[in-house]
Amino acid sequence: MDLETSEEAKRLQEVYRLYDLNASVRQRRAPSNPGNCRIRQQRSTQIRGILGDHHLIPLRDSRILDVGCGNGSELNRLLQLGAVPEMLHGVDLLPDRIEDARRRYPGIRFLRANAELLEFPDGTFDLVLAFTVFSSILEDGMAHRVAAEVCRVLKPGGSVLWYDLRYNNPRNRHVRAVSKGRIGELFEGFELDLRTTTLLPPLARCLGAATPVLYPMLSWMPLLRTHYIGILSKSC
């Protein structure tokens, strides 16, 4: 399958191109927003805890793939957990994002690729990152093909580090929630360890100077947590 033959892949490329051109989207996602900063900090803390709970830290012996890697920042953060740059790989549909990632983190390998057909041998990776990937895929066939490829390139006993929407976003028709049942369907036979996380982003982004106080208080309420984070473990 060529990058250009999947209609859903074409749709995704156009959606993300429009995101990048939309000033209001860029403003909402600005890294400087205190709410966005707190979301990233919370996620990083939870990732460390989850990987520790599953005895995956330090990551120095782990070959890791980030599917939908964007600018590469999530892979780069894994260096703090002992990951080795030469063992980190990122793939993304968008050439501009791959070029940006290569400029930012030249020690990590980044490839433009359609995750429906990953150019890696079977059982290459110990850990695969899937962050807001499957909520962006609206076509069931593509979702199953991407999940099958993730499973194929993952070693027996390997893990998927998952972070994605558990609620639909009524403001964004280009995404849909991924329930626990749906995750189990896509990764049949995997053991799921999933937790709720991330304060409703539109709310988090409005907290301003009160973010350090209000974000922890509000995020204690399970109904306000919009994402799942956790580990999907492949059987040996």
Q: Would you say residue 2 lies in a domain?
A: no
Tally of domains in the chain: 1
* Lowest mean per-residue pLDDT among 21-25, 83-87, 112-116, 178-182: 21-25
Distance between CA atoms of residues 149 and 226, nearest Å: 26
pLDDT at 19: 81
Q: Which of 185, 186, 133, 123 is nearest to 155 (CA)?
A: 123
Whether this prediction's pTM lies above 0.85 is answered by yes
Q: What is the CATH number of the domain that holds 201?
A: 3.40.50.150
**10 Å Cβ neighbour count for 143?**
22
pLDDT at 112: 95
Q: Nearest 5°: CA angle at 204, between 201 and 206?
A: 115
Average pLDDT score, the chain: 94
pLDDT at 29: 81
Give the tens place of pLDDT for each residue, 4-44. 457 888 899 888 888 877 777 778 888 999 999 999 999 99
Q: Would you say residue 196 lies in a domain?
A: yes
Give the tens place of pLDDT for each residue, 121-164. 999 999 999 999 999 999 999 999 999 999 999 999 999 999 99
Q: Would you say residue 116 lies in a domain?
A: yes
Segment 48-53 mean pLDDT = 98
Domain around 105 = 7-233
Q: Would you say residue 59 lies in a domain?
A: yes
Residue with tokens 């990937």: 133
Kindly indicate the confidence band of residue 1, based on its pLDDT and cuts at 50, 70 and 90.
very low
Q: Would you say residue 41 lies in a domain?
A: yes
Q: Would you say residue 1 lies in a domain?
A: no
Classify the C-alpha dihedral 100-103-104-109 as positive or negative. Answer: positive
- Asked if residues 63 and 125 have their Cβ atoms less than 8 Å apart, the reply is yes
Give the tens place of pLDDT for each residue, 55-92. 999 999 999 999 999 999 999 999 999 999 999 999 99
Structure tokens at 183: 């995750």
pLDDT at 184 over 50: yes
pLDDT at 22: 76
pLDDT at 24: 77
Q: Would you say residue 20 lies in a domain?
A: yes
Query: Residues 6 or more apart from 39 whose CB is under 8 A from it?
Result: 198, 199, 201, 204
Q: How many Å is the Cα radius of gyration of the chain? A: 17
Q: Nearest 5°: CA angle at 89, between 88 and 92?
A: 145
Strand ordering across the sheet containing 191-199: 109-112, 88-92, 64-67, 125-131, 154-165, 225-233, 191-199
Segment 212-236 mean pLDDT = 96
195 or 9: which leads in pLDDT: 195
Distance between CA atoms of residues 186 and 144, nearest Å: 6
